[in-house]
Amino acid sequence: MYKPVKKIALILILAILLPVVFLSVYELSSVNENERLIEDTFNNQLNAILFSVNQYTEDVVNGWVNKINSGLLEKNLKPENFRSAIEKLQSENPINVIFTADDLTLGNFSEFDSLKNEGTREAVKEGIKKILGQNTQKIKRLYTYKRGGYTKIEALPGVPGCFTGLMIFIPDGGAEGKIAGIGISTEDFVRSKMGPKLQEISGGRMLISVYKGKNIPVYRTDAAFRTEATQKRPIWLLPGYSLGIALKGATIEELVSYRYRLSLILVISVNLLLIAGIWLVFRSIKKEIRLAQIKSDFVSNVSHELRTPLALISMYAETLEMGRVKTEEKKKEYYGILSQEAVRLSRIVNKILSFSQIEAGRKKYSFKESDLNEVVQEVFNTYRFHMASSGFNFTFEPEEKLPGVMLDCEAVGQAVINLIDNAAKYSGDKKIIKVTTGKDQEYAFVEVRDEGIGISQEDHEHIFEKFFRVSTGDVHNVKGTGLGLTLVKHIMEAHAGKVTLKSRLGEGSTFRLSFPLIKNN
């Protein structure tokens, strides 16, 4: 039986399980790669948004520079209009100071600001001169760009107490070495110029923040939303400031992680279901193979069981028929053997017919209030002589005044006979069988106990299955159909009772049939 089972198991593993495992590994790796691709795509989109905001910021400042350059050219033609144009530019934007000078030492310094205090103006000039002196290399690059026809803006720190950001550029139409700049209030710039654009870009789906330093927020598109940014980029024209962006509801990492976990759970669940299905198929096939083997053994055992009494009946009948037995005593012995083998044959046939009726659902019982002691006593009386002649110490100990129970006496008798037959078959060298009756709580019971080879613990759950016969001890040398205990179990279920077993290898077996008392039946 084991070779076909192993072969089927190997086929299931090779044909189904291994391809599924490989496919699952591939799917998990693909899911991981796809999620990484999604994450990269999201990050690229966020980077594009941050780049767009930076570009917008630069466009705003470039617009100011263009207006200043235009005003400077206009000043050469109409000086009276220049100041009004500059004042308008300052009033419409968060600009504190606009200045021009002929060189980095601020020769011919000309400034236009919203500061009216003369002392503050001097502080502005000195502050600007100091800043320019600290960034000469950056200023030289501006001249290089200008000679190439490109006006570039360089962002520098502001003058403390006056403005917080300084935008330096090389003006149009001036002599070589001329320089100009715009001093702004950085936070006002963020709120008034960048804020509307950030709100437009966020669209309520994401949070865009402007940070000062490392983590000091100065502006959020949604003040009530406190999620930290997942992507940060510096603002080109605002030194020390950065743009941050975050999705509302969950971060990209959380979304990717959730999708990956979900895919992983689905793949594992499908694999577990498939493995469970394969296991059930394997168990079913294994059970069918085992049942087929048991049926084959059953046919072989029954054939042998039938052949033995038939051969004995045929032999002794033929001997008597041919007149070879001369004495009456010998004839009586032969007639007894014929009767005994006929009973044995009848019992085998009845057992098979009862099982057939049970399998077909046609088995019927006739219940009536009975005395369990009387039923067992009748069986004991029938078997006492046969057991004694076979060398058994066969005893019956009934409990007095046992309450009445509802029984089909013939079926219960058959169940007890089956237990006694089993005890006799598997008693081994210790030929001791004890039958007792008693009362246990709400049940009346009959026990059949032997001191034979016993039954292993692992076979306890199978012992009542049809055709099953244990494969230890001397079982292979014992004849049987494997139906006796199956019939016992069915009879007890029909009586709303139960059959229990206590047994260990080498320590004998005790079967108990428990019948509910009438008041509980």
Express each pLDDT in 215-249 by its tens digit: 888 888 887 766 777 778 888 888 888 888 877 76
pLDDT tens track for 175-210: 677 888 999 989 999 999 888 888 888 877 788 888
Which pTM value belongs to this model? 0.46
Radius of gyration of the chain (CA): 52
Question: Coil, strand, or helix at residue 444?
Answer: strand
Does the pLDDT value for residue 86 go beyond 80? no
Does the pLDDT value for residue 78 go beyond 80? no
Listed as own residue / partner, the contacts of 51-56 with beta carbons closer than 8 Å and 24 or more positions apart are: 51/233, 52/201, 53/194, 53/197, 53/198, 53/201, 53/208, 53/235, 53/243, 54/233, 54/235, 54/236, 54/243, 56/194, 56/197
CB 88 within 8 A of CB 155: no
- pLDDT at residue 448 in the model: 92
Does the pLDDT value for residue 521 go beyond 50? no
Nearest CA to 497 out of 521, 469, 468 is that of 521
- pLDDT at residue 459 in the model: 76
Provide the residue ranges of all domains of the chain, joining segments of one domain with +.
Answer: 188-249, 364-520
* Choice between 177 and 512, residue whose per-residue pLDDT is larger: 512
Please report how the helices 328-360 and 252-321 are oriented relative to each other, as an axis angle in degrees rounded to 10.
Answer: 150
**Distance between CA atoms of 459 and 465, rounded to whole angstroms?**
10
- pLDDT at residue 224 in the model: 73
Q: Three-state SS string across 252-265, please?
A: HHHHHHHHHHHHHH
- pLDDT at residue 20 in the model: 66
Helix (H) or strand (E) holding 183: strand 179-184
pLDDT tens track for 108-157: 777 776 655 556 778 888 888 899 889 989 988 998 888 888 889 999 99
pLDDT tens track for 57-67: 889 999 988 88
CB 13 within 8 A of CB 286: no
DSSP letters along 286-333, please?
A: HHHHHHHHHHHHHHHHHHHHHHHHHHHHHHHHHHHHTT---SHHHHHH
**For residues 358-362, average pLDDT:** 65
Does the pLDDT value for residue 478 go beyond 60? no
* Choice between 218 and 71, residue whose per-residue pLDDT is larger: 218
Does the pLDDT value for residue 163 go beyond 80? yes
Looking at every residue in the chain, the average pLDDT score rounds to 78
- pLDDT at residue 475 in the model: 44
From the CB of residue 77, how many other CB atoms can be counted at a distance below 10 Å?
Answer: 8
The yes or no reply on domain 364-520 and CATH 3.30.70.20 is no
